[in-house]
Chain A
Amino acid sequence: MPHIVLLGMNHKTAPVEVRELLAAACRKEINPLHMLPHLERVEEMVFLSTCNRVEFLFTCNSLSEGMREIKALLRTHVGLPASLALDSFLYVHQDLDAVKHLFMVASSLDSMVVGEPQILGQLKDAYRDAVEYRTVRVVLNRLLHKSFSVAKRVRTETCIGSCAVSVSYAAVELARKIFGDLRDKSVLLIGAGEMAELAAENFLRQGVRRMLVANRTLERAMELASRFKAETVPFDRFLEELKATDIVVTSTGAPEPVIGYQDVKSRMRERRNRPLFFIDIAVPRDVNPKVNEIDNVYVYDIDDLQGVIDLNREERLNQAQIAEHIIDEETIKFRDWMNSLSAVPIIVSVRQKAEAIRRNEVRKTFSQLPDLSDREKEAIEVLTESIIRKLLHDPIVFLKKKARRGGQALYMDFAQQLFNLEGVGGVEEQDRLPYASAPQPEPAGDRGAGQGAQAQRAANGHEGTGKSFSSSERGRDSGEQPFLQTAKK
């Protein structure tokens, strides 16, 4: 069974400088996914890069080799300086931890602002890229689709998603309580995170006069600026802009506050004491809380904003627990799927063996009965196929069932001995399959499952057996239908 590994850094583990270095390097003309054919140990790969995280999700058979290759990719392709102690910023999750982490990311529980909705879109983009580069197959394909449906479930069953949206809405409402009409006001975005984007969108809808973006990497600032028809400001000069702006949205992810008491205090006179509203959505905070003490200056951090929308801590904690429970549930479901996957090579081998025996025997029979008509030959083919299918049906259902529970290794081993199978592992080395179908813009949960089955069917490489393979329930009636179909021919 391949290992699922997630290696990356986010706003909690890496300082913003390192993250931006990595993100900027990865955004170069060559997508890291492009390098997959050069990686020997890594089977499938998805690359996710947002303002607050850079993550590689991949599968490999050998954990250490795979990780070594990805880290080497980071060094050589991305061109990080060798002096950088990369390991100290990275986290590595394996197998179920990786699955859980991905689900957390997709559901926006791992975000700087928990519940911000952008991350799911970014993950979908990452998946789309991977599909384009043909770097996802059975496992990651299924996993990504599952993560989308988990995110959807978390969104609908908890209010975590609506929280973030209403946080940015609350910020706008507060601004309206301070400034009244926002049409002649200007907004300065310091840092260009997802939540900042959301707030900017809301402010733009209110028709603010002018929008400025200051970001450490100019590229990202320009990207945002072009979207919001904003101007860019050099990052080290944003303090000067405090004189002319009314609303400041900060989300730099710097470890220390970037705006101090004196920075604001000394500029208030020049502002002629016009109110200044700081919306600090960074964790840790970007604006020193003392700034709130200055007359006509109002500082709201993310906790304050969440307080505004009338959700107390306990409730939020409760919602987060519900969300985690959903994720745990889905992680277990995915584990079951992974486990059943390991039964696949055995089942395939059993079928292959049976099919080989059947063909061999049919060939012998045909050579002894040369005067059979084509129709009769066909009937014999169908008959033998049908016998094999019916005979193997129960053992296969049994194997699949056992594979979902613990201790499946025993049964798999037993099955191999019973059918005298050899070289089951070899089946895992499937030739690289083109991804079966185009990505869906809105993958629903069951569609994801369907595609998983589809890919799985493709993995079998047998048209006839594929049908009973796609789901054990359907396998029950598969014995009769092909016969009828072929008989009609």
Chain B
Amino acid sequence: MESFFLVIATLCYLIGTVGYLVYLFRDREQLHRISWTIMLVGALFHGTALAIQTVGSGHLPLTTIHEALSLFAWIFVVTYLVLQIRLQLRILGSFVSPLAVVFMVSSSLLPSNIVLKSESFRSGWVIVHVTSLFLANALFALAFSLGIMYLLQERHIKKKNFGFLYERLPSLERLDSISHYCLMSGFPLMTAGLLTGFAYAAVVWHSPWSWDPKEILSLVTWIIYAVLVHERLAVGWRGRRAAWLSILGFSATLVTFFVASLLLSGHHSIIPGKM
């Protein structure tokens, strides 16, 4: 049942993405409204599927990288849908919805053999750890999209070469301030997520830090974002450099997620037998 819902959700995301890509070329408000609604329907199916999984297993669906990515995709889409209402930055959908499809499709391609001990996902620490990190990453993914939009638009204006996107993209300051907002709300969440992770590790393994590759990579990612936040607040970094750094930051997040989970061994690894 839940896999059927997941397929429907993926299809909805796909249709929504197509709608948003058409919207990129044709400025019809109707198009945006339909695409947004389709994404919402997809998110509802997706959420239902996740709820069924959670109820069925008694813990958050995080035992496989497939499930984890699917959960992340859902949080990402919901974050976008909510922010869209607040921001009314319609063109953002054209840059965000493809990411959702990529997450969903890659999640279905990834191995789904259970590796992590399911009982750990009943712990409140882990729930906070995972949800806050996923929410932070969802915000960072938005910042990543905004960064790409910023760089495109900045290039138009700087090089004085105006493609069709110039008309469609919003002003630089708007993009930068939304990106700033995503970053400033994402960073505390990420910090909280990491701290709860350390706390849980300290409780379960009696050591908060175990040189787990994912821990190291997470710390690197955190440092990247910490630098970005610091520079933004203290020095007033903005614009192109900030956009590049938020793209770099999210890339590091992706590396952390995939590389550490798939290739390297450690607490977070899902490769069988390497625990």
Complex alpha-carbon distance, A275 and B172, angstroms: 9
Complex alpha-carbon distance, A295 and B215, angstroms: 35
A183 at the interface (CB under 8 A from B): no
Most A CB contacts (10 A, CB to CB) among B153, B158, B237 go to B158
Kindly list chain A residues whose C-beta atoms are within 8 Å of the C-beta of B26: none
Measured between C-beta atoms, what is the minimum distance from A364 to chain B in Å? 87
Kindly list chain B residues whose C-beta atoms are within 8 Å of the C-beta of A274: 236, 238
- Asked whether A298 lies within 8 Å of B236 as measured between CB atoms, the reply is no
- Asked whether B160 lies within 8 Å of A304 as measured between CB atoms, the reply is yes
A300 at the interface (CB under 8 A from B): yes
Could you tell me which residues of chain B, from 160 to 184, have a CB within 8 Å of some CB in chain A? 160, 162, 166, 170-174
Q: How many residues of A contact B (CB 8 A)?
A: 20
Interface size class of B (residues with CB under 8 A): 10 to 19
Determine which of A176, A269, A272, A308 lies in contact with B160 in the assembled complex, contact meaning CB atoms within 8 Å.
A308
Complex alpha-carbon distance, A272 and B241, angstroms: 13
A62 at the interface (CB under 8 A from B): no
Chain B 144-162 near chain A by CB (<8 Å), digits 1 or 0: 0000000001000110101
A178 at the interface (CB under 8 A from B): yes
- Asked whether B171 lies within 8 Å of A272 as measured between CB atoms, the reply is no
Determine which of B160, B239, B240 lies in contact with A307 in the assembled complex, contact meaning CB atoms within 8 Å.
B160
- Asked whether A177 lies within 8 Å of B241 as measured between CB atoms, the reply is no
Measured between C-beta atoms, what is the minimum distance from A371 to chain B in Å? 95
Determine which of B153, B238, B239, B240 lies in contact with A177 in the assembled complex, contact meaning CB atoms within 8 Å.
B153
Complex alpha-carbon distance, A188 and B171, angstroms: 21
Kindly list chain B residues whose C-beta atoms are within 8 Å of the C-beta of A292: 158
- Asked whether A178 lies within 8 Å of B238 as measured between CB atoms, the reply is no
- Asked whether B238 lies within 8 Å of A179 as measured between CB atoms, the reply is no
- Asked whether A180 lies within 8 Å of B157 as measured between CB atoms, the reply is no
- Asked whether B174 lies within 8 Å of A180 as measured between CB atoms, the reply is yes
- Asked whether A269 lies within 8 Å of B240 as measured between CB atoms, the reply is no
Complex alpha-carbon distance, A275 and B238, angstroms: 9
Complex alpha-carbon distance, A473 and B164, angstroms: 59
B85 at the interface (CB under 8 A from A): no
Determine which of A179, A273, A304, A308 lies in contact with B237 in the assembled complex, contact meaning CB atoms within 8 Å.
A273
Kindly list chain A residues whose C-beta atoms are within 8 Å of the C-beta of B240: 295-296
Contact residues of B with A, CB < 8 Å? 153, 157-158, 160, 162, 166, 170-174, 235-241
Contacts A178-B172, A275-B239 aside, 8 further interface pairs with beta carbons under 8 A come to A174-B157, A179-B171, A179-B173, A180-B172, A272-B236, A273-B237, A275-B172, A296-B240
A-B contact pairs, 30 of them (CB 8 A): A174-B157, A177-B153, A177-B166, A177-B172, A178-B173, A179-B171, A179-B172, A179-B173, A180-B174, A269-B235, A269-B236, A271-B236, A272-B236, A272-B238, A273-B236, A273-B237, A274-B236, A275-B172, A275-B173, A295-B239, A295-B240, A295-B241, A296-B238, A296-B239, A298-B157, A298-B158, A304-B160, A307-B160, A308-B160, A308-B162
Q: Which 7 A-B pairs have the closest CB atoms?
A: A272-B236, A180-B171, A296-B239, A180-B174, A180-B173, A273-B236, A304-B160
